[in-house]
Each structure stands twice: as C-alpha cells, then as structure tokens.
Amino acid sequence: MFRFFIIALVLLLLALQYRLWVGAGGRADVHRLRGEIAVMDAENSQLRARNAALEAEIEDLKQGEEAMEERARTDLGMVKDGETFYLIVEPKKSENPPQAPAEGGGE
C-alpha cells in the first residue's frame, strides 16, 4: 500500500514538472513571450524616434517659413521670383561601356 502511494506521488510530480517545463504557460512559453516582448520593445523605440522626428518637422512647418520654403523647393521644385532654375542632367551610365576599335585591323 505504501509503495503504491509513493508511485502515485512520483507520477503526480512528473505530471506537474511536465506542465511546468513544456505545457501551456510553462517555461517554454515564458521564454518565447520574453523574446517577443524584446522584439516589440525594439520596434516601439524605433517608432517613437520616428514620431519624434515627425513631430519636430510638424512644429518647424507650423512655426517657420524657412522649413516650408525648403519643403517647397525640394519636394515640389518651386523657385522664388527672380531666381533662375538650372537642371543638371547626369549622363546615363551604360552597363557595357563602348570599346575602342582594335588596332592593327585586317591588313
């Protein structure tokens, strides 16, 4: 009878250990969730930095005429009265540059 009781306690202990290490809400789940939290924290900090930059840009646009003028020049290509607009076109780079003719041809 005592032996049966010890075996039952050992089996119960093993069942509880299984739930602790492998089952739902166990150590494996906790480890996985901590990893997900770390990834989300990193993403949130990047988004906070982006939001801060956007808020600063909004404040510049609301308060300063220089920021608005810069945006109009770069994004819309606008120029002031009396200014002359010059567009510099870079030559296209071809993938295969032309080769010089071979010397000593077919004589």
Is the pLDDT at 89 greater than 80, yes or no? yes
Q: Give residue 99's pLDDT band: very low, low, confident or very high (50, 70, 90).
A: low
Nearest by Cα to 74 from 66, 64, 62: 66
The mean per-residue pLDDT over the stretch 49-62 comes to 89
Amino acid (one-letter) located at 2: F
Give 81's contacts (C-beta < 8 A, 6+ positions apart).
Answer: none
Q: Give residue 63's pLDDT band: very low, low, confident or very high (50, 70, 90).
A: confident
Is the pLDDT at 85 greater than 50, yes or no? yes
User: How does the average pLDDT of the chain come out, rounded?
Assistant: 82
Is the pLDDT at 80 greater than 70, yes or no? yes
pLDDT tens-digit map of 26-43: 788 888 899 999 999 999
pLDDT at 44: 98
Residue 12: HSE in the Cβ half-sphere, 13 Å Cα cutoff: 6
According to the 3-state scheme, what is the secondary structure of the chain?
A: CHHHHHHHHHHHHHHHHHHHHCCCCCHHHHHHHHHHHHHHHHHHHHHHHHHHHHHHHHHHHHHCHHHHHHHHHHHHCCCCCCCCCCCCCCCCCCCCCCCCCCCCCCC
Higher model confidence: residue 83 or residue 99?
Answer: 83
Count of residues making up the chain: 107
